[in-house]
Amino acid sequence: MVRQGEFTQALLDPSAAVPPGLTGPDGRPAGKRFAVYRNNVAVSLTKALETGFPVVRKLVGDDFFTAMAGVFLRSHPPRSPRLTLYGETFPAFLEGFGPAQRLVYLPDVARLEMALRESYHAADSDPIAPDALAALPPEALMGARLHLAPALRLIRSRWPVFGIWRANTAAAAPKPAAGPEDVLVVRPGYDPVPLPLPPGGGGFVAALMHGRPLGEAVAAAEEECQDFNLSAVLQILLDHAALVDVTGEDAP
């Protein structure tokens, strides 16, 4: 009797023997017939990773990506049939993947691509009115909590991850500048858009994501950048439907 554990192990390990008890129509060993299943698993999961991480693929080249995907899918098969989110652990895998170590920014590029995909499938939300912040009394503003859209994602990188992403997705994009970048993924309609944040913007948005009031988020931003420009970042959030509610000091 062929158990599914044995079948699975042989599917994921190309050097493993085909389980006995599997045959062709003439009773001969399954051989290449088993390889069809092996190939279906590897090809379909590689395809899912190619679709999810096109910029990582472009950076390493098609052949390198296929080989790398093969190592990843065998060591990290999907844990759910919901393949739309397959690859959550790909960025962490890349951190430890020896042959790609020279591309130090690769894991963060993968994080950005995963964030774009998560944003695409995230819940819909209605933005606040453009004048909702201006309507607050000035003394209430710093205690207010700004609630972010469910499709918002933040990637904080030591590398110019937005510049690298753009240089590999847009024609005639400028070469990435050196230095760290904070990238905000927004989704004003149904298409996620990555935006580079000005200095301090990453600390600010991270604090908002943790549910901290506006004043504390500003303080966190100013720790990173003394010249933090609050109105510029608020304008980015308002322009991209990223704020869904404002609640007063006492509200949760």
> What are the residues binding other proteins (CB under 8 A)?
1-5, 7-8, 11-12, 21-28, 30-34, 36-37, 40-41, 44-45, 48, 77-84, 119-124, 150-151, 187, 190-191
**Structure tokens of 251?**
């509200």
Q: Which of 130-157 are b and which e, b meaning 16 or more Cβ less than 10 Å from the residue's Cβ?
A: eeebeebeeeebeebbbbbbebbbbbbb
Give whichever of 10 and 164 is closer to other proteins, judged by the CB atom.
Answer: 10
We find the least distance from the C-beta atom of residue 40 to other proteins, in angstroms, to be 4
Give whichever of 12 and 230 is closer to other proteins, judged by the CB atom.
Answer: 12
Give whichever of 52 and 176 is closer to other proteins, judged by the CB atom.
Answer: 52
We find the least distance from the C-beta atom of residue 176 to other proteins, in angstroms, to be 28
Half-sphere exposure of 26 (CA within 13 A, CB side): 2
We find the least distance from the C-beta atom of residue 148 to other proteins, in angstroms, to be 15
Q: Residue 70 to residues 5, 12, 67, 167, 240: CA-CA distances in angstroms?
A: 20, 10, 5, 27, 38
We find the least distance from the C-beta atom of residue 12 to other proteins, in angstroms, to be 8
Give whichever of 27 and 98 is closer to other proteins, judged by the CB atom.
Answer: 27
CA-based torsion, 10, 98, 176, 118: positive or negative? positive
Give whichever of 86 and 159 is closer to other proteins, judged by the CB atom.
Answer: 86
Q: Residue 12 to residues 37, 83, 162, 247: CA-CA distances in angstroms?
A: 10, 17, 35, 51
We find the least distance from the C-beta atom of residue 198 to other proteins, in angstroms, to be 27
